[in-house]
Amino acid sequence: MAQLLVRFIRWRFWRPLLIALLFVVLAGLGSGIGFLVACLQDLPSLVSIEPRPSETTLVFDRHGALVAELHGVENRKPVRIEDVPRQVLDAFLAIEDARFYGHHGFDLEAIARATWAIATGGMFQGGSTITQQLAKNAFLTPSRQIKRKVQELIIAIELERQYTKDEIFEMYLNIIYFNHGAYGIQAASQVYFGKEVGELTLAEGALLAGITRWPEGYTPYRKPDSALGRRALVLNRMLSLGMISQSQYDAAINAPLELAGEKEQDYPAPYFVDYVLKYLLKHYDRDLIYKGGLRVYTSLDPAIQKAAEEGVAKILDPVFPLEPGKEQPECAAIVMDPHTGHIVAMVGGRSRTGKLELNRATQAYRQPGSAFKPIVVNTPALDLGYTTATVIDDRAFTWVQLDGTAWTPTNYDQRFRGLTIMRDAIARSANVYHTDLMLKIGPETGVSYAQRMGIESLVTKGRLNDVTPSLALGGITKGITPLELTRAYSVLANQGIKVDPIAVLRVEDKRGKILEENTPRREVVLSEQTAFLVTDLLRSAVDYGTGMRARLDRPVAGKTGTTNDDVDAWFVGYTADYVGAVWLGHDIPKSMVRVYGGMYPAIIWKHIMETAHKGLPVKQFPVPKNIVTGVNVCNKSGLLPGPLCPPANIVAEVFVRGTEPTLTCDVHKTVNVCGEHTDFLAGPGCASTLEKVVIARKVPWEPWESEYRHPDGRRELRVFIPEDSVLEAPAAVCPNHNPPLSPSGE
C-alpha cells in the first residue's frame, strides 16, 4: 500500500513537468515547421533551377535614362572548368571547401568547426561549402538573417541533386566576386594579371583564391601585404593537403607580386555618381548595392552635367594645361534647383584616377572670400533694418582684435572710395564697407544667419573660432564646400526658403519595391522681402560689378570671391531657375597670381548656365508684397536727394515699405571758393567768388601708409586716402589773393 502511495505522489509531482515539457516540444516543433514554411515561401523555383548572377545596381538620371551600372555584369566573363589549370582549381578547393567532391552540398564537420571557433572565441572560420556559396550569390538577396542561411542550405542540396560537382564548381568560379568590378575568375585574371585564366601560375591562382573571402580587404591593389599573407595561407593549406610539393610551394611563396596595373572603369558624370554611391553606402548594405539589383533614380540632368564638364575643360585647359608632373589649379562646380534642392550637375575635379576619390564639390573645405559677404553681412544687416541705401565711409581704419593685434582691412584693388552705398559696395566687393557693417551688426549675428541658411562648417567655440570681424571677408577657420555655399545661396534664390540638397530621388529593389523616396524638405529661414533685397543687390554685382563675365540673357544675381594672394577664386550665382557655384584653386593652397573670382570661375558658370537655361523662358525674380522700387536717393548720404545733390549721385533704390528715407541729404553742402582758383576757399582778397558743392563728412579720415602691390609683383610704400576726398571743401584760403601774414602779423 505504501508503495502505491509513493508511486501516486511521484506521478502527481512529475505529471505537470512532463506535460509542460511535451508542450514545449510541440510548440518548438510548430515554430520550426512555421519557420521552415516561411523559408520555402520566397525561394526561387526548384523545378528547373538555374543560378543567376548578382544583379547590377542601375543609376538613372532625372529623365529615367541609365547613367551608370555599379559593379555590373559587363565584367563577368564565363570560362569552362577544363580551361582552368588544375593547380588553380586546387587552390580554391584548399581554402574554400577541401571536401567539396565528397559532400552533398553541406559539410557538417566544417559547420561544427566554425561553430566551435565562434563559441570559444577563436578566429572566425567559414562553414559554407562552395555549393552553399553558389546558392547565396546566385539566388538570394544579400543578407545575414538565419532565414537566408536555411534557404541557402535548401538550395545547395537541390543544386547537388540536379548538377554534377564539376558543373557546380564551374558556376561558382564564374559567379564569385573579386573586387574592382571583376565577377568570375576569367575577369579577375585579366583585372589583376592581364592574362587569360589558362595562363595563371600557381602563385597567381593562390592569390585569386584568397581574395574571394574578403574582396575589399585582400585586393593586392589596395592592400598588397594582406593579399600576400592570404596567398601564403592558401599555399600552406595546399601543401598540407598534398596538392603541391615542397618545391612548388617554395617557388610560389617566393614569387613576386606582379600586377597588370589598376584600370578603373569609369562611368559618366563620375563625381555625381560617386556622390550617389557614397550616399548608398551610408544607408544600405554593401552587398545589396553591388549585387542586389537596386534601381536608383537621381536628379542628374545629363545636358547640364555635360556642359559643366566641358566648361571646366574648355576654359581651364588652355590656360592651365594638365601635364604629367606639373601641378595646376583644380576646379569644382555644382548646379542645383533652388526650389527642390535637386542637384542637377556636379564636377569634383579636372582629372580623375579612380572611383570615390576626393570630390572637391562636396569634400574640399576652402576659404570663401567675398562670396561669403551676402550670407554673413548683407542678409543679416537688411533683416535687422539696414537698407540698400545704407552709406558707410570706405576709408582706412584699424581694428584692435581680442589678442591685441591690429588689423586694417583693405579692398582687393587697394583703393578706398569714400562714402559708399550698399549696392555699390556689394557690386565692387568692398572689404572695408562690409567689415565696418559686420562690426555694426556683430560677428555673432553673421554666424547665426550663416548657420540658419545651411552653413554647417563654422567653428563657434575654442580659442580659434569664426566669431570675428574677418568673417565678413570669408576668413574662417575650417572653410566651406561649394555644395554648402550653393545651399546658402539657394535660400536667396528661393524667396527665403531653405531646401536640403537632394541627389537620390528614389531607390527601388530589384522587384520594384520602393525602399526610399526623397521629397524636398522646406524651411522658411528669411522673409521674402529680405531675400529679394539681397537678390536685387547681387544683380548689380553681375550687371556692372565684379561678376560681369557671368551675365546671361536674363536676370542673374551673383557674387565673386577671391581670397588673399589669389589662393581661392569663386563665383556663386543664380537665376529664377538654377543656383550654382564654381571654385578654382590648388589642392594644397597656394597663390594662382592674378586669378580672381570674376575671371575663370564666372566664365565657367556662364558656360554651364547657358546650357541649363536653353529653351527656358526668361523669368524675373518674383517681387514680394511690400516692396517699393524706384525710390531716388543720394548715394553719398543714403537720404532723399536735396537741391545740392549732383545728378550723378542720384540713384533709384529698393526698399521694404516703411523703411524708405524721409530726411533730405545732409552731406552735400556749399562753400565759397575763389573764382579764379576754385581749389581754395575764398578770402577777403579774392575779387570774385563762387559757390561750390562739396561733401561734408561726419567723421574725418586719416591718411594710411602701406605697401602697394604692382601687377608685376613689385611693392612700394604709398599713402592711401579716400578717393572722394577731392569733393570735400578746400582746407586752405586762396594764397594768391590772400597772402599769409608775416611773423610780425603784417
Cα 86 from Cα 301, distance rounded (Å): 50
Which cell numbers hold the place of 115? 561553430
Query: How far apart are the C-alpha atoms of 72 and 54, rounded to whole Å?
Result: 8
157 vs 177: CA distance, rounded Å:
22
For residues 192 and 208, is the Cβ–Cβ distance under 8 A? yes
CA 174 – CA 176 distance, rounded (Å): 6
- Among the listed residues 128, 370, 490, 540, the single catalytic one is 370
Cβ atoms of 510 and 55 within 8 Å: the answer is yes
Q: Which of 434, 339, 335, 346 is nearest to 390 (CA)?
A: 434
Instruction: Verify whether residue 370 is a known catalytic residue.
Output: yes
527 is catalytic: no
158's CB contacts (< 8 A; 6+ apart) are 46, 49
The Cβ of residue 8 has, within 10 Å, a number of other Cβ atoms equal to 10
- Tell me how crowded residue 69 is: count the other CB atoms within 10 A of its CB: 17
Check residue 221 and report its DSSP letter: T
DSSP state of 671: E
**Number of other residues whose CB lies within 10 A of the CB of residue 517:** 11
Q: Rounded to whole angstroms, how far apart are CA atoms 410 and 433?
A: 10
CA 250 distance to own-chain centroid: 50
Q: Judge contact between 725 and 711, C-beta under 8 A.
A: no
Q: Which amino acid is at 272?
A: F
Q: What is the end-to-end Cα distance of the chain in Å, rounded? A: 157
Cβ 547 vs Cβ 332: under 8 Å: no
Please list, in sequence order, all residues whose beta carbon lies within 8 angstroms of the beta carbon of residue 165, skipping any fewer than 6 positions away.
Answer: 100, 101
Phi, psi of 580 (to 5 degrees): -160, 160
Contact in structure between 173 and 153 (CB atoms under 8 Å) = no
How many Cβ atoms are within 10 Å of 426's Cβ, its own excluded? 27
**Residue 56 DSSP label:** P
Helix, coil or strand: residue 420: strand
Give me the catalytic one of 96, 152, 158, 484: 96
How far is 212 from 230, CA to CA, in rounded Å?
10
Helix, strand, or coil here: 661? coil
- 3-state SS of 267-330 is CCCHHHHHHHHHHHHHHCCHHHHHHECCEEEECCCHHHHHHHHHHHHHHHCCCCCCCCCCCCCE
Cβ-contact 560, 541 below 8 angstroms: yes
Axis-axis angle for helices 528-543, 482-493 (nearest 10): 110
**CB burial of residue 204 (10 Å; 0-12, 13-18, 19+):** buried
Containing 641, the helix (H) or strand (E) segment is none
Residues with catalytic roles: 96, 370
